[in-house]
Amino acid sequence: MTEQPERDSAASAPRPTARAGVRLGIDVGDARVGLASSDPDALIATPVMTLRRDPNRASDLTMLITIIKDRQARAVYVGLPLSLSGGETLSTQKARDYAGQLAGMIQAAELPTEVYLIDERLSTVSAATKMRASGVASKDQRTRIDQAAAVEILTHALDLRQSWGREPGTPVSAP
């Protein structure tokens, strides 16, 4: 008779098949890029910083590559701002383009990091609501709202990852 492993509720919970490691969440805007990071077990999202967008010199993307290297990030989730009905918008294409540029720079740097687009509908609205509820005045939100939206994006991705047992979102390849 073969021995069967003992099962309990924790053992039967879905386990992500993707390798452990830090995940990053990115909220891309026209003027700023919010960044959040997970812990090495990919369980908790925390705000990191807000970068000023620099489409001409790509210094924001260069800084992201440095952060990805320093934190040894395994995956980056770029928020995809779809309309409430799930349709594409001008912002959707901008996020796709940004994710493609980032994937290209990651590939050029020979980093083992994957880029995914993840639905971010209402992430900024949710972040603003939570900030107000925690007592942050509207006038003080501007400096932190992008980071808070990145936390929302990353938290959503981490929850899906835990539930599905794989990386969520749409993989992005270098252009």
Residue type, 106: I
Mean pLDDT across the chain: 84
CA distance 129 to 95: 23
Q: What percent of the chain has pLDDT over 70?
A: 77
CA distance 106 to 108: 5
126 near 152, Cβ under 8 Å? yes
CA distance 61 to 149: 18
146 near 27, Cβ under 8 Å? yes
Q: pLDDT at position 158, please? A: 96
Question: pTM of the prediction?
Answer: 0.81
